Amino acid sequence: MIRLETLGKSFGSFDAVKDVNIEVPKGAFLVLVGPSGCGKSTMLRMLAGLETPSAGRIVFGEDTVSDGEKGWTIDPSRRNVGLVFQSYALWPHMTVAGNVDWPLKVKGLDKAERQARVSEVLGLLGIGALAQRYPNEISGGQQQRVAIARMIAPKPGILLFDEPLSNLDAKLRVEMRTELLRVHRATGATSVYVTHDQVEAMTMASHVAVLNAGRVEQFGPPAELVARPATAFVATFVGTPPANLVPVSALPPVLAAGHPQGVSLMYRPEDMRVSAQPTPDSLAFEFAEASPVAGRIMITGTSGDRRLTAVVDQAPHFTVGDSVHFILPPSPAALFGATGERLQ
């Protein structure tokens, strides 16, 4: 449904998006995830037609909608795409029903069709009772539902979400994730969702594109990214908590033997143990925090700008500043080269 071919976007000498090549099947829920400034929102704006690529092409189905080499892009109104903004962007002088009705009026539907479709999508989002209220009379979560209803009312083939849950509190974010997935399934549309929250990415996506400095570091199903990260960045960004990466130079001699200098070894938090006393296969860090995670305990330690995390069933009592010794398993889960590439 969506194909990006060597897609790039530059602002002057700054390359916001670089050489992106991905194919998104029809009906997929693609999440673009990465740190601030990685290029995910720029990519979404190109999909929406709000930015023209500097290089490469964007293809929807069989139709090219943007071509960077030729310097042209199809107008957003002709793309059969819906977009939900982070700020909701509701018209304050219109009621909830009026906000949802407006794009249908622009599309040219008659009044009876519009009324039926407005009632249908408000019911789908569970906000039919709010039809005659104004945006300032409803909560943030309700406003977000109105924004989603307005987006899906014209039945677009592609749904675009630009960090739509970032303004909501933690509990409501969890609830709205479920609602968004329900809407996605009900519409049958192909969705592209931007977030910096990798928990959202891993729980919602059928496909994930991990971006870093404008490039896609890895693209694939969430489980694949966790099980087999392609780069050191993906290994330390994806997962709750993400994997630990330890340079061979920092390893105890018993574990460093046989590994060349310059590589880093990946250890999963659930494969590690912690102790109050050093062992031949442990690393000493300063205790930072302990957090409950699904009936287990997540122990985090720091050493300068480095962090290690272990998820264990039981742990000694530590206070901040104590030495915590992370016991590493005999073999790492993966190896990465000096430039971050995964080694066989």
Beta-strand relationship, 2-11 and 14-24: antiparallel
What local confidence, expressed as pLDDT, does residue 171 receive? 85
Indicate if 252 and 212 belong to the same structural domain. no
Handedness of CA 231, 232, 236, 242 (dihedral sign): positive
Contact 322, 314 (CB under 8 A): no
**Are 138 and 229 part of one and the same domain?**
yes
User: What is the reported pLDDT for 85?
Assistant: 84
- What integer pLDDT is reported at residue 88 of this predicted model? 80
In a domain, 157, yes or no: yes
Same domain, 172 and 62: yes
Q: Whole-angstrom Cα distance, residue 70 to residue 103?
A: 30
The whole-number pLDDT of residue 89 equals 85
What's the pLDDT score for residue 294? 86
Does the pTM surpass 0.85? The reply is yes
DSSP state of 93: T
d(CA 185, CA 188) in angstroms, rounded, equals 5
The pLDDT tens digits of the residues spanning 54-92 come to 999 999 999 999 999 999 999 998 999 999 988 888 999
CATH code where residue 96 lies:
3.40.50.300
For residues 20 and 214, give the distance between their C-alpha atoms in angstroms, rounded to a whole number.
8
Residue 166's pLDDT is: 83
Do 284 and 189 share a structural domain?
no
Closest CA to 84 of 153, 18, 36: 153
Task: List the one residue out of 224, 267, 269, 219 whose CA is nearest residue 246.
Answer: 267
- Distance, in Å, from the CA atom of 233 to the CA atom of 294, rounded to the nearest integer, reads 25
What's the angle, vertex CA 229, arms to CA 209 and CA 214, rounded to 5?
40
Q: Is 15 exposed, middle or buried (0-12, 13-18, 19+ CB in 10 A)?
A: middle
Is the same domain home to 14 and 117? yes
Residue range of the domain that includes 312 = 248-343
Rounded Cα distance, 208 and 33, in Å: 7
CB 121 within 8 A of CB 110: no
Same domain, 273 and 206: no
* Cα–Cα distance for residue pair 136/115, rounded to 1 Å: 23
Half-sphere exposure of 185 (CA within 13 A, CB side): 8
Instruction: Specify whether the CB–CB gap between 99 and 133 falls below 8 A.
Output: no
What does the pLDDT read at residue 128?
A: 95
| Surface-to-core class of residue 292, CB atoms within 10 Å of its CB (0-12 exposed, 13-18 middle, 19+ buried) | exposed
Structural domains counted in the chain: 2
Question: Which parts of the chain sit beneath pLDDT 70?
Answer: none
Judge if 215 and 274 occupy the same domain: no
Same domain, 270 and 336: yes
Which of 239, 244, 246, 236 has its CA nearest to residue 212? 236
3-state secondary structure of 146: helix
Please choose, from the candidates 31, 27, 26, the residue with its C-alpha nearest in 3D space to the C-alpha of residue 62: 26
| Shared domain check, 260 and 205 | no
Same domain? For 6 and 143 the reply is yes
Domain annotation covers residue 242:
no
**Pair (97, 227) in one structural domain:** yes
Place of tokens 């500097």: 54
The enclosing domain of 294 has a CATH number of: 2.40.50.140
Q: What is the pLDDT of residue 14?
A: 95
| Two tokens, residue 126 | 């569970």
CB atoms within 10 A of CB 13: 5
Q: Would you say residue 241 lies in a domain?
A: no
